[in-house]
Amino acid sequence: MTSQSPRIYTYKITFEEVPYYYYGVHKEKRFDEEYWGSPVTHTWCWELYTPKKQILEVFDYSDGGLMVANRVEQRLIKPTFNTDKWCLNENCGGYMSLKLRVQNGKKTAEIQRKNGTGFFGQTKEQRIQNGKKSAETHKRNGTGVFGQTVEQKSEAGKKGGKIGGKIGGKVVYELGIGIHGMTFAEKSVRSKRNGLKHKENKTGICGQTEEKMKENGVKTSSQRWMCMETGYITSPGPLTIYQKNRNIDISKRTRIS
């Protein structure tokens, strides 16, 4: 290798006017060729501002050198991936950023609705019917949740709650699906309809004795929940009134005790 041989290197792109930055790996075809990164999502930043490139580390010009360079790139991106708003990297070791996953989810939903395919191409009735068929199959074969012990279900619920609360809930909210895709009036109608069903079937709170309802009332009033928008903390009932009076989605809360 001579001083004029092509290189494999990690680099950092910064911009003169703004604090955005971008990490990458490049394998040259010829020495010192002009290269300014290969962004897909944020090309606007390169077009609007003045990029500057800093070569961070040079590696052996081989397949092994490229593998090492890719691992180093991941270590550079990981500390700020999905956390620093100025980081323009939307991929880290094959993992897409939350922002990119939301964008792709919206595109997928639009395509499915347009073509009548996939989950979003189904009617509400079709989704319910498919859900019932899937549950019946799992129940018959003892698979899925029906193949788990009570302890396994409990543990899976705890793990799912932690992950879903941080990521899944945000994605569903940003996609505007499920309860987040309904207006306040639609939520109110659904709530009343569910209440009538419970009353008719004597399920839920309508299936409890007066003593049990009092016991649960004490337990509920001792709970503390926080509004995720304002940080206000109180018990479940008063928090619902607080959020409704301020036009805050009542699902935007988290239990703290």
What is the mean pLDDT of the segment spanning 161-167? 51
The predicted pLDDT at position 86 comes to 93
Query: Per-residue pLDDT for 107 more than 60?
Result: yes
Statement to judge: residues 104 and 158 lie in one domain = yes
Statement to judge: residues 121 and 71 lie in one domain = no
Calculate the dihedral angle through the C-alpha atoms of 195, 196, 199, 205, rounding to the nearest 10 degrees. Answer: 0
Statement to judge: residues 109 and 158 lie in one domain = yes
What is the mean pLDDT of the segment spanning 187-209? 71
The predicted pLDDT at position 19 comes to 94
Longest Cα–Cα distance of the chain, Å, equals: 87
Minimal CA–CA distance to 1: which of 63, 60, 68?
A: 60
Measured in residues, the chain has a length of 257
**9-58 pLDDT tens trace:** 999 999 999 999 999 999 999 999 999 887 777 888 998 999 999 999 99
Q: Is residue 201 part of a domain?
A: yes
Q: Is residue 86 part of a domain?
A: yes
What is the mean pLDDT of the segment spanning 116-140? 75
Picking from 96, 128, 147, the residue at the C-terminal end of a domain is 96
For 239, the domain range is 223-257
**173-185 pLDDT tens trace:** 555 556 656 666 6
Helix (H) or strand (E) holding 25: strand 21-27
pTM for the whole structure? 0.43
Statement to judge: residues 57 and 120 lie in one domain = no
Q: Is residue 242 part of a domain?
A: yes
Q: Is residue 3 part of a domain?
A: no
Q: How many independent structural domains does the chain possess?
A: 4
